[in-house]
A and B are shown apart, each in its own frame.
Chain A
């Protein structure tokens, strides 16, 4: 190694580590799948405003971030987006200058807005020659209106044409086409590309005179054409090589030149080696030297690998042996060898990592979490990954370059080769990177796939290059510069039809006006068009929502809680709980429901009775300082011991079946022979009667394992400070009082306590579902929130804590009892905790509340069934509930529940704002009482906690829906879990991140509308104080509005402008007696409605 390199090693390492750190911004940051927590898919771009972030991500990763325009157009035609909404968005964008009048047709001004609207609503895309011929010949496009032209446009155009003496549709349309061509200075005739094979002298002469400038024509040099070709080849060569290290790697370059994707050779190798290296316990045999790092492991194996003997890489072994020991050196040497300028390294490596974003992302995730899952011996370093990737790429590129051109695979050499073979470059460039007519492709393939039998001399390449070049100059091709029939005349023709402008008006247009028209159409690039559509789509929903809130003003209950509720139930803020809350209140209006982040303010490391290790139950950003254990109740030690033994036995048997039957040979055979008859019976029962079998097996399991009565150890046994580094078991009394009071203050429950306050955590259970964690509680790091509810209730019931609370001014009546429970969002089951401790006095309230909840759960199941195509249509609530129970036990069910699909808004405020209205399970409901928070401190905390959680959920769903191929993970049906950390499609694809199609197919991709019931001054001050909120809201990742606590006025926050009053239309909402009356018989998203609540409070 050169000495200078060792001197700068430290610098280089630091630089490369920086580069790697930056990967976090572009690679998917998804955790191992068992830890799945919703997060903003574009978290790395969050510092940018939303549209810029999407545009940047599109440029860097190639993934478009909006729904396809066709989808938006469908919404438009369904009335889900209206023309007024589009116009209002266009008006709001000063850059578009939509009020500007471009020209006047028949004394009617045509504004930029009209053109923009036409271009949004109707695709004005360029066509290819073949498509235009088809339009003309098959659809008679030059004699009849395009089918999507509206009646008004038709009649306007016909009327205008009639004034110019054209009476029929055919005449008017034909005249329009001629006018468009004339206005652009074009002529069009149908020319089949193959006619160029045998040109007539006139044709050739005509083209030649057009191609050559005067100067060139005067030039006497014999081969002007040759010079032109060389010039063009040089220019595109410069562009292509300039892209290296920018958005192209060596593989990309070679693919552009040969059509061979080197990834095909590398991917199986990479997937096997990385999979085996990162494996968390799926395989029995991993490399013994994983502590040396990936590069070393790979190098050892590569040196022993015999694949290369067969794959035509004879010097493989030497190359591997010559590699340096340190991955850093390897990276540097490879990059230098490649001949890439040092300032391009960072981007080149990023591009390299983006070739397999899923695997790279997982490698990076583990790189950032050393010792994850107790795998301390696996040293995961991103540098290792890059080194392997670079070496592998060089080796396979080498093979290709030698095979094709007998040269080395470095940038300079390849460039040198093509400098001397310009014609060949031109042919390759056009064949692989643009469209050619068939006759040219056939000829090109003949040359490109030539075997050693034929002479591929320069002359042949040159001849073909000339043919291609000639074709490109002909009217049959899509010449890049200037106006053109396919790219200009056709869109103009269609635009004129949509605007109802006749041929005469087009002929009158000046050149500059035409330029403006095209500038207007071009301004709507996919990014801008997507963003306009998205905003209009959001606007439509927002106005419906605001209208409902205004209509609901002074209707909702529990604004001041003057009457004591019969019961209070605190649910998670989760949008899925909106339904059950509404049903509960409909059934018994005397119950108050509240919502809060489902960890109820207690961050804990939880260790359940059967757990082997602790699990953090709190938002991902928090590291708990306290550990809470579930232990057998006093006197139950023997039972607990029995339970433990039996459980271990059952687990052992289960592992024997699930692990050993695929691990061994002879022992598996024996096990399979023994287990198969049972398996067959279970399989049959599972498929024919999943619910019954599920219930039976649950019963059997409990009977076998014995249920142990437990309690939670919430009290601190020692008195030392608790830190995230050294968590302490239990909370002290003061800590407990802090948490209870803090939480009650957050949800605004400091007075008017009901006799029973129920804390309802949630989780989800389903079978055969790799994405299980994605359905659980987001506020509990993708786990069940029941333990938090249980711990909170236990703390709040302690007399010591109550006394401390009383001292701090929070007087909880002695008759009030807190109870923890967990709602299963999949099968609607409710699991109660510590019922044995319920005082006799509270029992009657409990009986009543649990009956009410039973009704609410079946109501919730009933409402959910309407969105599930495979659920029974119009079932009774009981039937629906049974269906949901069965669904959770059905291992063939790829959609056990729909998760957060359709979430669209969050309301932070008293329940009175939203109570009594139907929000279709689309709204996060977070309790907050502005009247108890004059300074906005509580609100600040809520926004800081709920903002990122809500944005994480909403944006993950947004991106997975907008572009499931890139940001989501495709259909579950071909998924294959690998290494226990992710899913692939089939057995060797990239790791797929994001949400599967089955989770998002009914989702409506829009950003979260956050409506806060608070004074705008308080909100503004909080916004100005908090950089995280400025990032989320100021950059448009969340849309904020404020609802005045005392009136019905609503203000909308616009970044850069602040709050502005909402001036939408207020219209009357339908009122129904029950939610079911509104949603029955509907399967699609529903607009809000009001629900009559009849107070029966004594």
Chain B
């Protein structure tokens, strides 16, 4: 039976592929395809859940199957990446939770998304997400987990931008995606390190590496995983992306940010629990990040006036607590906390539109001593400026850098390779007028060439001749002072510009970065 476990993530993914294919072939036929779409998605999800439950049952009787190998995926030299699942208590219970909550959300969406233009798109992405989450929790090695990790991220991106005609939605989706890239990069490094040092990315091998590797190496690898987890679970300082992720339809907010994806980071930490216990410094780090995030979520949550934000900050706070619990070494408590919290938030998020009618009274005000901390109120309302800091530290410099590079391209590179920068032909009536009036006799027919050569030698000679002519014209004919003076002035201006640029922090930063890369 466990040999069929690969079907569990594959079924929803196949459903997604099917819906996608129908969409491509038959187009968006709106309501006509709603029934078949939702049926396929829910049937696949239900089958997945059923399979998991059977395996769960077997595990209860015979014990968890543990590592299951389906064969080799990539092998090159000494590296062999397997197609394998880890079916232990942790992953099985997580998978059950994922499948159940996804199924319920799909079911909810059948009515809720009825007649939406994006109905098929929504079900496709939700199915993909379900498959991705299942792969993430059941994968037997870091590589497969990473695939699930990425697919979940992509589907999150697609659903934040569900209403892609609203600029805010697309901007926020991009922001969430880009923030997540930081964690993804770190995840990849961790995989590379494990392949490099251990020759394997299988979870059991990684977990057992403590005995083979020096603590520093273990710590380095773990820090990379930790960073990935911090980003995915929206911990401070990466927290703001999740508050921006509420642009999608309510059921997607429920399952991505309330219930499942936000917990992926915690899951990764719990998966690596035995290793973390070897590195107390990282445990401390976990606790610190968790505690800060919990406070951040709590305080910012107190001032939120819209239902979804209020729920998401509360979620951030709870996930922060889970990190704190992990940091204190209470991994199994954190796992329980995770599962129960996921179930509760799914319920609460799906109920978000009607929360106002469920509330009997206004929210209980904060105590007086807190009420009058005016600065703290402002800070909470502005979400502790995490977004602004990220803008200032990363986004703006990168944007300017891009602009500088483009300008460099246009002004220097294009000229060097000889791409047309500005047209020297007649492209406006004014130019034609000039030609006619005769102010510039050099536009037509006279390109300033001395002669024309062909072949390498010819071109070379042509070049030399042109250069000499230029020299003559600018430095000699125009009279020493004017030509040379102009040239020097231009040089000076350009030097000034370079100096100006170098004084900008982004270039200083870039220089330091380059130096570091070279040294390492």
A residues near B (Cβ < 8 Å) are 33-34, 196-199, 201, 204-205, 207-208, 211, 222-226, 272-273, 275-276, 279-289, 300-301, 304-307, 309-312, 446, 449-454, 463, 466-467, 469-470, 473, 651-652, 654-655, 658-666, 668-669, 672-673, 675-677, 679-680, 682-684, 687-688, 767-770, 772, 869-870, 890-895, 971-980, 984-989, 998, 1001
Q: Does B482 contact A (CB under 8 A)?
A: no
Other than A309-B388, A666-B321, A768-B353, give 19 A-B pairs with Cβ distance below 8 A. A205-B432, A208-B429, A226-B430, A283-B305, A285-B366, A287-B374, A450-B407, A451-B404, A451-B406, A662-B310, A669-B318, A679-B347, A768-B354, A769-B353, A869-B114, A892-B109, A974-B249, A977-B306, A978-B305
Contact B337 A222, beta carbon cutoff 8 Å: no
Contact B303 A285, beta carbon cutoff 8 Å: yes
Contact residues, B63-121 vs A (CB, 8 A)? 100, 104, 107-116
Contact residues, B118-158 vs A (CB, 8 A)? none
A275 to B357, CA, bound (A): 19
Which residues of chain B are near A684, meaning CB under 8 Å?
Answer: 100, 104
Assuming the A-B contacts A300-B374, A466-B431, A668-B314, are A451 and B168 also in contact, with contact meaning beta carbons closer than 8 angstroms in the complex? Answer: no
List 9 A-B pairs, Cβ < 8 Å. Answer: A197-B423, A225-B433, A304-B374, A310-B389, A454-B410, A659-B361, A669-B341, A676-B344, A987-B244
Which residues of chain B are near A973, meaning CB under 8 Å?
Answer: 112-113, 116, 249-251
Assuming the A-B contacts A281-B363, A655-B360, are A669 and B321 also in contact, with contact meaning beta carbons closer than 8 angstroms in the complex? Answer: yes
Least Cβ distance of A951 to chain B in Å? 28
Q: Which of B100, B317, B353, B361 contacts A977 (CB 8 A)?
A: B353
Contact B426 A198, beta carbon cutoff 8 Å: yes
What residue of chain B has the Cβ atom nearest to residue A272's Cβ? Answer: B381
Least Cβ distance of A589 to chain B in Å? 38
Contact B433 A223, beta carbon cutoff 8 Å: yes
Contact B116 A207, beta carbon cutoff 8 Å: no
Q: Does B13 contact A (CB under 8 A)?
A: no
What residue of chain A has the Cβ atom nearest to residue B404's Cβ? Answer: A451
Assuming the A-B contacts A225-B433, A894-B112, A988-B168, are A976 and B308 also in contact, with contact meaning beta carbons closer than 8 angstroms in the complex? Answer: yes
Which residues of chain B are near A975, meaning CB under 8 Å?
Answer: 250, 353
Least Cβ distance of A773 to chain B in Å? 10
Assuming the A-B contacts A226-B430, A662-B311, A687-B108, are A311 and B410 also in contact, with contact meaning beta carbons closer than 8 angstroms in the complex? Answer: no
Which residues of chain B are near A272, meaning CB under 8 Å?
Answer: 381-382
Which of B197-205, B267-275, B294-302, B470-478 participates in binding chain A?
A: B294-302
A272 to B100, CA, bound (A): 36
Assuming the A-B contacts A204-B429, A893-B111, are A284 and B364 also in contact, with contact meaning beta carbons closer than 8 angstroms in the complex? Answer: yes
What residue of chain A has the Cβ atom nearest to residue B322's Cβ? Answer: A669
Assuming the A-B contacts A453-B497, A978-B306, are A207 and B429 also in contact, with contact meaning beta carbons closer than 8 angstroms in the complex? Answer: yes
Which residues of chain B are near A453, meaning CB under 8 Å?
Answer: 404, 407-408, 411, 497, 501
Which residues of chain B are near A469, meaning CB under 8 Å?
Answer: 428-430
A769 to B353, CA, bound (A): 6
Contact B355 A470, beta carbon cutoff 8 Å: no
A683 to B342, CA, bound (A): 12
Q: Does B427 contact A (CB under 8 A)?
A: yes
Contact A869 B115, beta carbon cutoff 8 Å: yes
A972 to B163, CA, bound (A): 12
A890 to B358, CA, bound (A): 15
A672 to B259, CA, bound (A): 13
Assuming the A-B contacts A311-B391, A654-B360, A659-B359, are A222 and B437 also in contact, with contact meaning beta carbons closer than 8 angstroms in the complex? Answer: yes
What residue of chain A has the Cβ atom nearest to residue B490's Cβ? Answer: A455
Assuming the A-B contacts A663-B302, A986-B168, are A198 and B423 also in contact, with contact meaning beta carbons closer than 8 angstroms in the complex? Answer: yes
Least Cβ distance of A633 to chain B in Å? 25
Which residues of chain A are near B348, meaning CB under 8 Å?
Answer: 658, 661-662, 679
Least Cβ distance of B125 to chain A in Å? 14
Contact A280 B362, beta carbon cutoff 8 Å: yes
Least Cβ distance of B50 to chain A in Å? 15
Which residues of chain B are near A679, meaning CB under 8 Å?
Answer: 343-344, 347-348
Contact B433 A208, beta carbon cutoff 8 Å: yes
Least Cβ distance of A223 to chain B in Å? 7
A978 to B356, CA, bound (A): 9
B residues near A (Cβ < 8 Å) are 31, 100, 104, 107-116, 162-163, 166, 168-169, 172, 243-244, 246-251, 294-295, 297-298, 301-311, 314, 317-318, 321, 336-337, 339-341, 343-344, 346-348, 350-366, 370-372, 374-375, 377-382, 385, 388-389, 391-392, 396, 400, 403-404, 406-408, 410-411, 422-423, 425-433, 436-437, 439, 444, 497, 500-501
Between A280, A305, A454, A987, the greatest number of chain B beta carbons within 10 A of the residue's beta carbon is seen for A987
Between B314, B375, B378, B431, the greatest number of chain A beta carbons within 10 A of the residue's beta carbon is seen for B378
Assuming the A-B contacts A205-B432, A311-B392, are A972 and B353 also in contact, with contact meaning beta carbons closer than 8 angstroms in the complex? Answer: yes
Least Cβ distance of B421 to chain A in Å? 9
A437 to B115, CA, bound (A): 38
What residue of chain A has the Cβ atom nearest to residue B302's Cβ? Answer: A285
A890 to B391, CA, bound (A): 43
Contact A658 B378, beta carbon cutoff 8 Å: no
Between A276, A287, A974, the greatest number of chain B beta carbons within 10 A of the residue's beta carbon is seen for A974
Q: Which of A305, A676, A870 contacts B341 (CB 8 A)?
A: A676
Which residues of chain B are near A680, meaning CB under 8 Å?
Answer: 100, 343-344, 347
Which residues of chain A are near B308, meaning CB under 8 Å?
Answer: 976, 987
Contact A199 B427, beta carbon cutoff 8 Å: yes
Which residues of chain A are near B311, meaning CB under 8 Å?
Answer: 662
A978 to B311, CA, bound (A): 12
Which residues of chain B are near A768, meaning CB under 8 Å?
Answer: 350-351, 353-354
A467 to B408, CA, bound (A): 24
A415 to B336, CA, bound (A): 65
Contact A986 B247, beta carbon cutoff 8 Å: yes
Which residues of chain A are near B432, meaning CB under 8 Å?
Answer: 199, 201, 204-205, 208
Contact A225 B429, beta carbon cutoff 8 Å: yes
Which residues of chain B are near A664, meaning CB under 8 Å?
Answer: 298
Which residues of chain B are near A450, meaning CB under 8 Å?
Answer: 403, 407
Which residues of chain B are near A987, meaning CB under 8 Å?
Answer: 243-244, 246-247, 306, 308-309
What residue of chain A has the Cβ atom nearest to residue B171's Cβ? Answer: A264
Which residues of chain B are near A280, meaning CB under 8 Å?
Answer: 362
Q: Which of A454, A972, A974 contacts B248 (CB 8 A)?
A: A974
What residue of chain B has the Cβ atom nearest to residue A211's Cβ? Answer: B429
Which residues of chain A are near B423, meaning CB under 8 Å?
Answer: 197-198
Contact B111 A870, beta carbon cutoff 8 Å: yes
Which residues of chain B are near A196, meaning CB under 8 Å?
Answer: 427
Between A282, A767, A894, A984, the greatest number of chain B beta carbons within 10 A of the residue's beta carbon is seen for A282
Q: Which of A198, A300, A661, A772 contacts B344 (CB 8 A)?
A: A661
Assuming the A-B contacts A662-B301, A974-B162, are A467 and B351 also in contact, with contact meaning beta carbons closer than 8 angstroms in the complex? Answer: no
A659 to B361, CA, bound (A): 9
Which residues of chain A are near B303, meaning CB under 8 Å?
Answer: 276, 283-286
Contact B377 A287, beta carbon cutoff 8 Å: yes
Which residues of chain A are near B357, meaning CB under 8 Å?
Answer: 769, 772
Contact B307 A284, beta carbon cutoff 8 Å: no
A975 to B110, CA, bound (A): 17
Assuming the A-B contacts A208-B429, A680-B347, are A665 and B363 also in contact, with contact meaning beta carbons closer than 8 angstroms in the complex? Answer: no
Which residues of chain A are near B382, meaning CB under 8 Å?
Answer: 272, 305-307
Least Cβ distance of A1020 to chain B in Å? 46
What residue of chain A has the Cβ atom nearest to residue B304's Cβ? Answer: A283
Contact A976 B360, beta carbon cutoff 8 Å: no
What residue of chain A has the Cβ atom nearest to residue B383's Cβ? Answer: A272
Which residues of chain A are near B109, meaning CB under 8 Å?
Answer: 892
The 7 closest A-B pairs by CB, nearest first: A281-B362, A676-B340, A466-B428, A310-B392, A986-B247, A978-B306, A768-B354
Which residues of chain A are near B350, meaning CB under 8 Å?
Answer: 683, 768, 891-892
Assuming the A-B contacts A466-B428, A673-B337, A687-B107, are A282 and B310 also in contact, with contact meaning beta carbons closer than 8 angstroms in the complex? Answer: yes
Which residues of chain A are near B310, meaning CB under 8 Å?
Answer: 282-283, 662
Q: Which of B114, B314, B321 contacts A663 (CB 8 A)?
A: B314
What residue of chain A has the Cβ atom nearest to residue B111's Cβ? Answer: A892
Assuming the A-B contacts A449-B406, A974-B162, are A310 and B391 also in contact, with contact meaning beta carbons closer than 8 angstroms in the complex? Answer: yes
